[in-house]
Amino acid sequence: MRSGLPRVAAATAPATPPPPLPGLDPAWSRLVTVPARHGLTGGADRPERSWHLLDTAGSLAALGVDPVGTLLCVHGNPTWSYLWRSVLRTSLELAAAGGPAWRVVAVDQLDMGFSERTGQQHGLADRVRDLGALTDELELSGPVVTLGHDWGGVVSLGWAVDHPDLVVAVTTCNTAVHQPDDAPIPAPLRLALRPQLLGRATVLTPAFLETTLAIAHPRLDRPVADAYRAPYRGAVRRGGIGGFVADIPVDAAHPSAPELDRIAAGVAALDVPALIMWGPRDPVFLERYLDDLAERLPHADVHRFEGAGHLLPDDADVAGTVFDWLGDHLPDGHAPAGAEPRLPEHADTAPTRPLWAALDELRDSDEPALVEMAAPGGPRTVSWRLLARRVDEIAAGLADLGVRAGDRVSLLVTPGADLTAVLYACIRIGAVVVVADAGLGLRGLTRAVRGARPDWIIGALPGLGAARALGWPGRRIATVALPAPARRALRVEHTLLDVARRGARRLAEGAALPGAPASDAPAAVLFTSGSTGPAKGVVYTHGQLGAVRDALATQYDVGVGTGLVAGFAPFALLGPALGARSVAPDMDVTAPRTLTARAVADSVTAADATVVFLSPAALANVVATASALTDDDRAALGRVRLFLSAGAPVSAALLAAATELMPNASAHTPYGMTEGLLMTDVDLDGVRAAAASSDEGICVGRPAANVRVRIAPLDAGGLPTGGLTEEPGVTGEIVVAAPHVRDRYDRLWRQNRVSRLGVNDPRGHRTGDVGHLDASGRLWVEGRLQHVVTTVDGVVTPVGPEQRIEAVDGVGRAGIAGIGPNGTQQVVAVVETVPSTRRPGLASPALSAAVRAAAGVPVAAVLTVPVLPTDIRHNSKVDRARLSRWAASVLSGGRMVRP
């Protein structure tokens, strides 16, 4: 026993069955004795051992089904096979429903759970060999898929490396097969490994066990926590916990380090399908270990469960994810004929027209390319000549610093000349830009940046300060000059000016920029707004970004010579790709409602703009501040020929009010999302014509060029279970397909699967929106799939009732919330009143009656609030999920506070 462990840990005891525990079927429990193995001299070189394990073989036999393979599950420290109870249960539920039957074998490692207490220390190599001896005794035959967690992940992967004839796939939750020399052991383990604490924290007291149980997200129910404690009651039962901690290879001199190195090398040589599942809130298995695994298994599918932590099988739906993945990759226990591990390799052909093509074509022009209205000292104009040169210089400088194709570069820079130059420089050399909106807030931005795992961060002072304080990964480049102490404190290695000068020298010396990236190489990770859950990283290839540019140019005739006021960040960045003269108005990009009418007029004048693109929240404030316009401002706005507003539904009244400010402009509201910026389009005349229709929802027009729109019909439970259709009048999830739809979500295998399920089109995407097509081929959006209310009378989509309620006198905006169990939910209407109420409460009887009469669906209650909660990016979409939680709370007796 290693130093630091108390003598009490040497106690011995045979394997025993567990007592009755929640979620554990006694029929799964088995005791297996592995006989001693004797050497040639007659001595025993492996003593007899007794194991406890959970096994669904008997239950499958009772169902009369034969398994297609075995899922071998190995727990870590300080858990036991109970960790995998949901996997066992799900496997049997699927088998009973006629799905592929997988036998699940979940072992208790020796000295752990209810297996034998041997009184001996087991190193990593011992544990891998012990597991092999057990599977030999079980006569386990292929196909086998391994599933591990914590140090059980290492043991299971070691077993997989040693049994290539049996293993057809490997899956794992948070684990690590390599400890980098330049990175310390995570803090919780460093603390537990201190000699003076090791025995007390892990064996003499249950501190290590209790700490592990306490970091579940959400908190474990008491009976479940007690089930995890059951095998470890008393110090004599906890020796294995301390032994496992003591066996962590902290450095190359540790006795288990050679075995860990052997497993790490073997994992890199595995050529079977792989799935890595991760809980990002794990304080021990940090994301650097995920990066290492993903590098060793480049063909692996990865899914990060945002919000989940170390106890991943309890925190998230690991069981459902594993069996979905097995169904896709090994439907009958083997990979489909011709299937090969998918490597992230790309064709050797460049896109026909790179995203930066307009910069090359206009590099000799002194005409304005960019105008920054909020620049220090007044508006700043950047010519095409200067922009093209600066992009080349930064690109060459970054390449000279070691930024390579495929490296991720997080851009923490507000829209303007610096962001534009850096973005195009990165794309030019094949680096992948990571763009997360500051409107996500500090917590959301932290989640996004950490999840994207950038190699580099280029940022202004606020972004660099947040990166340093919150431990964001990546080497740092500042966009501004900083004093030496500040550079050291923020860990800034270079400034953008230094990078540009470095690149200019290299170009002057005759250095060439790298060749153009392949069309299907990743170009950008753009984060969603986070309005319907944690923001997701959306991966675009170079070809797809080029297709976005081309779709905008075709739909709106935007190109060289066009002046574009971009009050919506994606279009500010796409301006140079279109060859358009772009101006960023004076506003806080994280708060669209800060944009004023005069700021728009000033921007139009500065760029001689004819196209204006604003978010709905920004447009609303522009209309609200129109009284401040001068005659010259109105004359400038009269030169606008096209204005667009997107990102949330835009009413005919708002479009009409904006048209009064821009009387010669055609008003359009395109429908799209981060995953596909332009899917359909409708103009004001189309919105007005739709107003006379009896269709539910908001009309967003007809599909844009090269876009196909279909509907997945909803069933009575509000799920899109029907086959895709283009029939009019069918309500369901909106499914789009186009060349400019995103490539995938970043490290979110499950979301990728769901968004493509049943689409049968590599360019297809399930949007998560619900709506229908009408007889004229126009698309109507009725809300979000997750906001559909399932009542006893059928499904209720929220937008139609909200629109009718908003027409009631005394109502401003309205939000529909569903409360209660699925299938019997009640509709609750939550409204802003005009004038605004000072505090939340029940609506007056008169208002309640008017709202119920207008809604068109049964409404159980009407509540009033000063302001409806909205999404954090556009400040326009009502946060219906938050409303539902709030309404359920207050109507069940909770405090009447603001939602």
Give the pLDDT confidence of 153-201 residue by residue, as tens digits.
999 999 999 999 999 999 999 999 998 766 677 667 666 667 666 767 7
**Residue 254 confidence (pLDDT) above 90:** no
Q: Which residue has the tokens 């979620």?
A: 23
Portions of the chain given CATH number 2.30.38.10: 696-783
Q: How many other CB atoms sit within 10 Å of the CB of residue 608?
A: 15
Residue 378: predicted pLDDT: 80
Give the pLDDT of residue 346. Answer: 39
Q: Are 468 and 489 in contact (CB under 8 A)?
A: yes
Mean pLDDT across the stretch 482-498?
Answer: 95
Query: Residue 321 pLDDT > 90, yes or no?
Result: yes
| Cis amide prior to 218 (ω within 30 degrees) | yes
pLDDT of 468 above 50: yes
The mean predicted confidence, pLDDT, of the chain is 90
Residue 670 and residue 647: Cα distance in Å, rounded? 8
Start and end residues for every CATH 3.40.50.1820 domain found in the chain:
7-329
Which pLDDT does position 568 carry in this prediction? 72
**What residues does 274 pair with on adjacent strands?**
170
Using CA atoms, how far apart are residues 851 and 869, in angstroms rounded to an integer?
A: 20
Average pLDDT over residues 119-126: 92
Indicate whether 44 pLDDT > 60: no
**Distance between alpha carbon 825 and the CA centroid of its chain, in Å?**
29
Sorting pLDDT into bands at 50, 70 and 90, what band is 877? Answer: confident
CATH of 788-891, one of 3.20.20.140, 3.30.70.360, 3.40.250.10, 3.30.300.30: 3.30.300.30
pLDDT digits (tens, 9 = 90+) for 267-318: 999 999 999 999 999 999 999 999 999 999 999 999 999 999 999 999 999 9
- Please say if the pLDDT value at position 119 is more than 50: yes
d(CA 169, CA 270): 9
**Helix (H) and strand (E) counts in the chain:** 31, 38
| Segments of the chain assigned to CATH 3.30.300.30 | 788-891
Residue 97 has pLDDT above 80, yes or no: yes
Sort strands 732-737 and 764-773 into parallel, antiparallel or unpaired.
antiparallel
Torsion of CA 637, 642, 647, 649, to 10 degrees: 90
- Tell me the longest C-alpha to C-alpha distance in the chain: 105
Distance between CA atoms of 540 and 521, rounded to whole angstroms? 9
3-state secondary structure of 696: coil
For residue 440, pLDDT over 80 is answered with: no
Global confidence as pTM: 0.90
Measure the CA–CA gap between 865 and 814, rounded to whole angstroms.
10
CA distances from 370 to 341, 381, 385, 503, 572 (A): 45, 6, 11, 22, 9
Distance, in Å, from the CA atom of 25 to the CA atom of 91, rounded to the nearest integer, reads: 13
The fold of 7-329 is Rossmann fold (3.40.50)
pLDDT in tens, 609-635: 999 998 888 899 999 999 999 999 999
Residue 744's pLDDT band, with cuts at 50, 70 and 90, is: very high
| The predicted structure's pLDDT at residue 202 | 85
pLDDT of residue 345: 38
Segment 52-93, tens digit of pLDDT: 999 999 999 999 999 999 999 999 999 999 999 999 999 999
Specify which residues 842 forms β-bridges with: 863
How far, in Å, CA of 577 to CA of 351, rounded? 14
506 pLDDT higher than 70: yes
Pairing status of strand 102-107 against strand 69-74: parallel
Q: What is the spatial distance between Cα 401 and Cα 582, in angstroms, rounded to a whole number?
A: 30
Segment (H or E) for 550: helix 542-556
pLDDT of res. 899: 85
Quick one: three-class SS letters along 845-895?
HHHHHHHHHHHCCCCCEEEEECCCCECCCCCCCECHHHHHHHHHHHHCCCC
What mean pLDDT do residues 792-805 have? Answer: 94
Location of each CATH 3.40.50.12780 domain in the chain = 357-366+384-542
What are the helix (H) ranges across 64-194? 85-96, 124-137, 151-162, 187-192
* CA proximity to 54, closest of 117, 127, 109: 109
The residue type found at 713 is P
Q: Tell me which residue of 176, 203, 263, 199 sits closest to 78, measured CA to CA.
A: 203
Cα-to-chain-centroid distance, residue 35: 48
**Rounded CA gap, 36 and 867, in Å?**
72
* Sign (positive or negative) of CA dihedral 249, 255, 257, 263: negative
Nearest-angstrom CA–CA distance, 585 and 873 = 17
Rounded Cα–Cα distance for residues 799 and 783 (Å): 6
Q: Residues near 823 by Cβ (< 8 Å), separated by ≥ 6?
A: 716, 717, 790, 791, 792
Q: Average of pLDDT values for 415-439?
A: 91
CATH class of 696-783: mainly beta
Q: What is the 3-state secondary structure (H, E, C) of 365-411?
A: CCCEEEEECCCCCCCEEEEHHHHHHHHHHHHHHHHHHCCCCCCEEEE
pLDDT given at position 39 = 61
Question: Topology of domain 357-366+384-542, per CATH?
Answer: Rossmann fold (3.40.50)
